[in-house]
C-alpha cells in the first residue's frame, strides 16, 4: 500500500486539497498527517509531502504535485 505523509503546517499551502483528492480518487493510498516534517524551508513555500517514508514530493502548484502523485499510484 502506498503512503503519503503530510505536514500539518503545510495544509494551507495546498496539501489539504491533495489529501482530499487522494481520499476521493485513490482511497488505497494511506494518508497521515504529522505536526511537523522538519522541512520548514519547503513548507513555507509550496505544497509538499513525504511519499512512502522516503521520497519528498514538492511542486509549485497543487496540480503539479497531483501529477507527480498520479505517476506513483
Cell of 25: 480518487
Higher pLDDT, 19 or 1: 19
User: What predicted TM-score, i.e. pTM, was given to this entire model?
Assistant: 0.93
Where is 35: in which H helix or E strand? none
Cell of 38: 522538519
Q: What is the residue-averaged pLDDT of the chain? A: 97
pLDDT at residue 58, rounded to an integer: 97
Q: Give residue-wise pLDDT tens across range 23-53.
A: 999 999 999 999 999 999 999 999 999 999 9
17-22, Cβ contacts within 8 angstroms, sequence gap of 24 or more: 17/47, 17/62, 18/47, 18/49, 18/62, 18/65, 18/66, 18/69, 21/66, 22/69
Asked if residue 4 lies in contact with residue 27, where contact means CB atoms within 8 angstroms, the answer is no
Amino acid at each position: 500500500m502506498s503512503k503519503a505523509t503530510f505536514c500539518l503546517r503545510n495544509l494551507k499551502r495546498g496539501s489539504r486539497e491533495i489529501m482530499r483528492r487522494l481520499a476521493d480518487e485513490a482511497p488505497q493510498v494511506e494518508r497521515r498527517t504529522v505536526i511537523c516534517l522538519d522541512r520548514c524551508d519547503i513548507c513555507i513555500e509550496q505544497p509538499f509531502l513525504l511519499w512512502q517514508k522516503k521520497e519528498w514530493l514538492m511542486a509549485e502548484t497543487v496540480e503539479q504535485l497531483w501529477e507527480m502523485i498520479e505517476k506513483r499510484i
